[in-house]
Structure 1
Amino acid sequence: FSLHNIYYLGGDSYGAYPYIVSTVPVRSYEDFEGLKLRLGGPWLDFYARVGAATVWIPGGDIYMALKLGTIDAAAWSSDIVIGLKTYEVIDYVIMPPLNAHLFSGLCVNLESWEAMPVDIQQALKAAQQEYGQKVFELYNADWEIVEARADELGYEIIWLSDADMEKTRQLALPMWDEYADRCDYSARALAIIKDFWGF
Structure 2
Amino acid sequence: MNILGILRDGTGKMAVGASVAAFVAATCLAALPARADDVTWTMATHAGGHWLEHGAQGFADKVALYTEGRVKINVAQPGALGSPLTTTQTVKDGIAEAATTWGGHVQGIDKTGAIVGGWPGGLRPEEWFFWVYEDGGLDLIKQWRMEKFGVVSIPCDTGETEIFLHSHKPVRTIEDFKGLRVRTSGAWAEIAAKLGASTVVIPGDEAFSALERGVVDALEWAGPGQNFKSAFHTIAKYIITPGVHYASGLTECIINKDAWDKLSEHDKVMVEVAGRLNLYESYARYGELDIAGWAKLKEAAASGNNEFIKLDDSFIAAAQKASNDWADEQAGNNEWFKKVLESQRATLDKLETWDEFRLPIGGVRE
Higher relative contact order (CA 8 A, sep 6+): 1
- Distance, in Å, in 2 between the alignment partners of 1:184 and 1:136 is 30
Question: Which of 77, 81, 103 matches 2:227?
Answer: 81
- Distance, in Å, in 1 between the alignment partners of 2:162 and 2:249 is 6
- Distance, in Å, in 1 between the alignment partners of 2:293 and 2:346 is 35
Q: Which moved more, 1:63-72 or 1:18-27?
A: 18-27
State whether structure 2 residue 266 is matched by structure 1 residue 115. no
State whether structure 2 residue 177 is matched by structure 1 residue 177. no
**2:73 alignment partner in structure 1:** none
| Aligned CA distance change for structure 1 residues 2 and 36 (closer, same or farther; 3 Å) | closer
CA contact (8 A) 1:17 1:102 kept: no
1:60-139, aligned counterparts within 5 Å?
Answer: 60-78=205-223, 79-98=225-244, 99-139=246-286
**Structure 2 residue runs without a partner (length 5+):** 1-144, 350-366
Following superposition, the deviation at residue 181 of structure 1 comes to 3.3
Following superposition, the deviation at residue 116 of structure 1 comes to 0.4
SS in 2 for 1:143: helix
Once superposed, what is the RMSD of the aligned Cα atoms? 2.0
Superposition misfits of 4+ residues, deviation over 6 angstroms: none
CA contact (8 A) 2:181 2:216 kept: yes
Following superposition, the deviation at residue 183 of structure 1 comes to 2.1
CA contact (8 A) 2:331 2:337 kept: yes
CA contact (8 A) 1:150 1:156 kept: no
SS in 2 for 1:189: helix
Following superposition, the deviation at residue 71 of structure 1 comes to 0.9
1:1-199, aligned counterparts within 5 Å?
Answer: 1-3=145-147, 4-17=149-162, 19-78=164-223, 79-98=225-244, 99-153=246-300, 154-198=305-349
SS in 2 for 1:105: strand
- Distance, in Å, in 2 between the alignment partners of 1:128 and 1:189 is 21
| Aligned CA distance change for structure 1 residues 24 and 80 (closer, same or farther; 3 Å) | farther
**Structure 1 residue runs without a partner (length 5+):** none
CA contact (8 A) 1:150 1:157 kept: no
CA contact (8 A) 1:39 1:55 kept: yes
Q: Which moved more, 1:38-47 or 1:163-172?
A: 163-172
- Distance, in Å, in 2 between the alignment partners of 1:59 and 1:170 is 27
SS in 2 for 1:82: helix
Q: Which moved more, 1:110-119 or 1:26-35?
A: 110-119
Computing the radius of gyration from Cα coordinates, the structure with the larger value is 2
SS in 2 for 1:81: helix
Amino acid at match of 2:253: L
Following superposition, the deviation at residue 18 of structure 1 comes to 5.6
SS in 2 for 1:93: strand
TM-superposition CA deviations, 1:119-153 (whole Å, max 9, x none): 33233222212221222222222332232112433
SS in 2 for 1:106: strand
Following superposition, the deviation at residue 75 of structure 1 comes to 0.9
- Distance, in Å, in 2 between the alignment partners of 1:115 and 1:12 is 24
TM-superposition CA deviations, 1:138-192 (whole Å, max 9, x none): 2222332232112433322211122321112221111001222342111112222
Q: Which moved more, 1:135-144 or 1:25-34?
A: 135-144
| Aligned CA distance change for structure 1 residues 5 and 81 (closer, same or farther; 3 Å) | closer
- Give the strand-richer structure, 1 or 2: 1
- Distance, in Å, in 2 between the alignment partners of 1:23 and 1:80 is 19
TM-superposition CA deviations, 1:89-145 (whole Å, max 9, x none): 111111111232111211212232121023332332222122212222222223322
Corresponding residue pairs, total: 198
What is the TM-score normalised by the length of structure 1?
Answer: 0.88
What is the TM-score normalised by the length of structure 2?
Answer: 0.50
- Distance, in Å, in 1 between the alignment partners of 2:316 and 2:291 is 22
